[in-house]
Amino acid sequence: MRSWRQTYRHKHEQSKITNDPSLAPRRSPGADKVGRRRLYVGAWQHGISIYGWQQGRDGGFTDRHPELLTGKATIRLRPQDAAAIADDEILGLVGAALEP
């Protein structure tokens, strides 16, 4: 797994090579946006945090994994938790949160 510094450097190099500013690294947690809907993802020492979806728009993810829910609407996903969750479940969460 890359450290955040390696990821930052990689994105910086890719943005210079392709001349695509959208690949430039961000200092703050990023948001994936579709229309008016957003889903924030922050990378931390413990893993990642996913937050910012509207109530009831998580595709049932928090019902299936209540132990990952911290606070009002933040999912804390550590590497060992992520290993036990299928990619389709994460894609379902993202799809439900960003669905128009």
- Structural domain contains residue 32: yes
- Structural domain contains residue 77: yes
- Structural domain contains residue 43: yes
- Structural domain contains residue 15: no
Where in the sequence is the domain holding 51, given as residue range(s)? 26-98
**Residues composing the chain:** 100
- Structural domain contains residue 59: yes
pLDDT tens for residues 4-46?
A: 555 555 555 555 555 555 544 454 555 555 667 788 888 888 8
pLDDT tens for residues 45-73?
A: 888 998 888 888 899 999 999 999 988 78
Task: Give residues with Cβ within 8 angstroms of 99, minimum separation 6.
Answer: 34, 37, 57
- Structural domain contains residue 45: yes
Task: Give residues with Cβ within 8 angstroms of 88, minimum separation 6.
Answer: none
- Structural domain contains residue 20: no
Domain count, the chain: 1
In order, the DSSP letters of 20-70 are -GGGS--SS-EEEEETTEEEEEEE-SS-EEEE-PPTT-STTHHHH-GGGEE
- Structural domain contains residue 57: yes
